[in-house]
Amino acid sequence: MGAPVKFLFDVDFAGGGDRKPTIGLAEHALKLAEAENAAHRRGYEQAQRDAKVETDRRIAAALERIAEDVALANTALMTIEARLECEAVEVAVAVARKLAPALIAQEPFAEISALAGNCFRQLVASPHIAVRVNDGLYAAARERLDGILRGRGFEGRLVVLAEPDIAPGDCRVEWADGGINRDTAKADAAIGEAVASYLRARRDLAGVNENAQEVRE
């Protein structure tokens, strides 16, 4: 009796005979290496895509933050600008109110002369003109106004009247069908109201900007 035949795992029983392995070890190793390389490439490419997405997200977030910071800075600058502007206006008005009385005291007839001269130019055909001035300026006004009037070609009658209730530097020019006043006190009050209204608006704007900045923070 012969020796028993050993069982071989490379026998294809379905085929009815012996058959060699379809893939050799070297080819298997090569294909495995190729598969690993392909998987590595896919993983690397995916990692690059993920990194780009994350980079883009961070860049977008940074740009958004920069835009917000710029908006906050702009709001802060507008608030500071409004405050400085209000302070500058207040200083200018205060200086003007200090200087005006001194300038009027130094040359009280300058404004009267300017107003009367403009009126006389338009009233050359008027039969008479009355100019009311502070009683302390009566003599000087009578002489100088007459010269101004004749220089404008006026041939009618000029009447200069002294009024103790008219402030130095102020005057009233009257003619047959009209008149005009230079009243420093009323002008100052009107200017003061206009300035106060403007400052209120600017301060309200500064307050709105400041509140908006606090909300954002």
- Which among 199, 181, 201 is positioned nearest to 191, based on CA atoms? 199
Q: Find where tokens 């958004």 sit.
A: 64
- What is the pLDDT confidence band of residue 12, given thresholds at 50, 70 and 90? low
DSSP annotation of 127 reads S
Does the pTM exceed 0.85? Answer: no
Positive or negative, the CA dihedral 25, 26, 31, 36 is positive
Assess whether pLDDT exceeds 80 at residue 216: no
Considering 12-16, 54-58, 204-208, the range whose residues carry the highest mean pLDDT is 54-58
87-135: per-residue pLDDT in tens? 787 877 777 777 777 767 777 777 787 777 777 777 777 788 888 998 8
What's the rounded Cα separation, in Å, for the pair 162 and 139? 9
Assess whether pLDDT exceeds 50 at residue 3: yes
Assess whether pLDDT exceeds 50 at residue 1: no
* Contact in structure between 137 and 109 (CB atoms under 8 Å): yes
107-182 fold: Hypothetical Protein Ychn; Chain: A, (3.40.1260)
